[in-house]
Chain A
């Protein structure tokens, strides 16, 4: 009980409350602007968290990401442009409701069920994390290696692009993580004699470059999206309680699917929304109404993406394996603030963990009033011209990356990663897989090398323990899957040609 009271004291500190409020506003505004994703909002916040207390830093990341995920629904609903990739699954449905003259209802569903999904996701985090922590204590380096590798492979499967390209992107990320002396032997690798590369390539410039600079570069080559017409909204929450009672199954299923996908390492809110929307349609009694402005899919997918956000913290806190790109950033912040992820975090830093739960709850509760204000202001904010926002983002990329290490080489890294991210995206290589590779590179290598040393260079012990064998089977299955699909297609084509 004293730990719980201590946690409340931590959260109620003025700097933490201020951080929550400001990051909520920031998340809502950035998430709502088309092209500026929740990941980008979070990545640009990291330099600021350097200067905050540990709890305020974590609060900033949690609140901003939750708000940005909800806020991404606003342009999706009003303009048919998803503000964040997590909203893309049901953008057409929400826009169809707007065209039917029900924008308030669509936005209300997004807000209300996002908040409820977030609360359920947090509850799952509270219940699951300590239970799994006990289980995780029995893991050896073999399990950790496969778990980390499985996380990377999941990221390649959910990428909605060629899995081979996703695996290549992930390997490039691992290669980037190899640079420097941060390896088990402390040998400089791929530094080409440059002292700036000795310490390795920092994750934050890579994130800022791949998500923010690459987006500005993309904005340069595509025409400005259409402008939002001015409109006045009626009551946002009217009818939501009725919908909650009308669709309890969909809501519960959305929450559960979101939680499960969030817990999977490597898969996050985007995937949760796609799967939930597809499930809602599959199990609906009226599937023909989907796509015409029907609330069912919106409820399920809207709840799902926010639920996955909180449960995505389970693998991050327990194993240091990110659930998605946002938690990948959060892990960096956790390490920076001395809250090193691992099963012992729940015993050694219990009050900080409770504080984290409280922040999640608070974040999802204040989402409702702040979200209503945001929706009402959306017609003004979404009218902001791209040429007034993007220049500030370029400047923040430069200053923010410099601030993480007071080193101008970091700004050069941001520029390089901007180009890499842009080129990769243009050619169908998922950037998220690259980033996860960079974030998890050191961890995967450490567990891989430690396991190999333990096994005297033999690969058999990697498959000897039941949990590691199961994880290995899933991981290898995911790896050979694209090859199997290719071979199958070739065979069917050959049979068809012969016939």
Chain B
């Protein structure tokens, strides 16, 4: 998702201003000139300056376009010139959504079912067949469980489907 430089610049400047203001509200340490407010204010001012610089195009000449390898002979082409992946924008947010799904459901469903859903969904989103998604969902979660829960003693929740080991 490409955002124009002007928008990112203004966004950063606004964030910087908010940080500097938020920092200035922090209570000082009694008897000291310098407190916890100084560093956030410095960062905030820095962000405002950077935001303005980005918005007016300073440093743009240093940027290079993104390239990907497109064919078997290793030819590099600009990322925009490659045929787009269907539903790319939707697929891109799958990994963070799956992590949120893990965070909110693993205690109720248990590690194995949650992990199986995550693995199968990612596999499918990346163009895997139902068969490969199913194989991966059956094999990967128990293997990861074995390493983390059994060998490293991380308390992974058993939930609905406890593992026999």
- Interface, chain A (partner B; CB < 8 A): 47-48, 50-51, 79-81, 95, 160-165, 167-168, 171-172, 174-175, 178, 183-185, 187, 189-190, 213, 216-227, 229, 385-388, 390-392, 394-399, 402-403, 406, 408-409, 411-412, 414-416, 418-419, 422-423, 426-428, 445, 448-449, 452-453, 456-457, 482-483, 485-486, 489
What is the distance, in angstroms, from B146's C-beta to the closest C-beta of chain A?
12
Residue of A189, A394, A453 near B32 (CB, 8 A) is A453
CB of A422 within 8 A of CB of B140, answer no
Q: Which residue in chain B gives the minimum CB-CB distance to A456?
A: B33
Nearest CB in chain B to that of A417: its residue: B96
- A220 contacts B85, CB within 8 Å? yes
> Closest residue of chain B to A445, judged by CB?
B39
Interface size class of B (residues with CB under 8 A): 35 or more
List 9 extra interface pairs beyond A220-B92, A227-B72, A418-B99, CB under 8 A.
A81-B69, A171-B50, A220-B88, A221-B89, A223-B70, A390-B126, A411-B103, A423-B1, A449-B39
Closest chain B residue, CB of each to CB of A185: B36
Closest to B115 in A: A395
- For B46-76 the 0/1 string (1 means CB < 8 A from A) is 1100110110011111111000111110101
| B34:A220 contact, CB within 8 angstroms | no
Query: In this complex, which of B8, B122, B156 has the most chain A Cβ atoms within 10 angstroms of its Cβ?
Result: B122
- Bound-state Cα–Cα, A397 to B79, Å: 27
6 closest A-B pairs by beta carbon, nearest first, are A80-B74, A387-B128, A164-B59, A162-B59, A415-B99, A387-B126
Other-chain contact of B62, A162, A175, A229, A390 (Cβ < 8 Å): A162
Q: Find out whether the CB atom of B47 lies under 8 angstroms from the CB atom of A226.
A: no
- Is the C-beta of B17 less than 8 angstroms from some C-beta in chain A? no
Within the complex, which residue of A160, A399, A418, A423 is in contact with B154, where a contact is CB–CB below 8 Å?
A399
CA A223 – CA B72 in complex, angstroms?
13
Contact status B119-A394, CB under 8 Å: yes
Closest residue of chain A to B83 (Cβ to Cβ) is: A223
- Taking the closest CB of chain A, its distance from the CB of B30, in whole angstroms, is 10
Known A171-B46, A423-B1; contact A485-B141, beta-carbon cutoff 8 A: no
When C-beta atoms are compared, the residue in chain A nearest to B129 turns out to be A387
A315–B113 CA distance with the chains assembled, in angstroms: 45
Known contacts A399-B156, A449-B34; A415 and B96 CB within 8 A of each other: yes
Q: Is the C-beta of B10 less than 8 angstroms from some C-beta in chain A? A: no
CA distance A50 to B53 in the complex (A): 42
Residues of B within 8 Å of A218, CB to CB, are: 92
- Residue in contact with A164 in the complex, picked from B53, B93, B118, B132, CB distance below 8 Å: B53
State in angstroms the CA–CA spacing of A221 and B93 once bound together.
Answer: 10
Query: A395–B92 contact, CB under 8 A?
Result: no
Instruction: Kindly state whether residue B109 has any CB partner on chain A within 8 Å.
Output: no
Which residues of A sit under 8 angstroms from B115, Cβ to Cβ?
395, 398-399
Chain B nearest CB: distance from A210 CB in Å? 12
* Cα A189 to Cα B122 with chains together (Å): 36
- For B54, what are the chain A residues with a Cβ–Cβ distance below 8 Å? 162, 164-165, 168
On chain A, the residues within 8 Å of B148 by CB distance are 399, 403
A172 to B53, CA, bound (A): 15
Instruction: Chain B residues near A79: list those with CB within 8 A.
Output: 69, 74
Q: How far is the CB of A495 from chain B (nearest CB, A)?
A: 17
Q: Given A178-B43, A408-B107, A485-B61, answer yes or no on A398-B99 (Cβ-Cβ < 8 Å).
A: yes
Q: For the complex, what is the distance from the CA of A406 to the CA of B156, rounded to whole Å? A: 9
Q: Which of A184, A216, A415 contacts B122 (CB 8 A)?
A: A216
A223 and B46 within 8 A (CB): no
Contact B96–A213 (Cβ < 8 Å): yes
B-side contacts of A178, CB under 8 Å:
39-40, 43
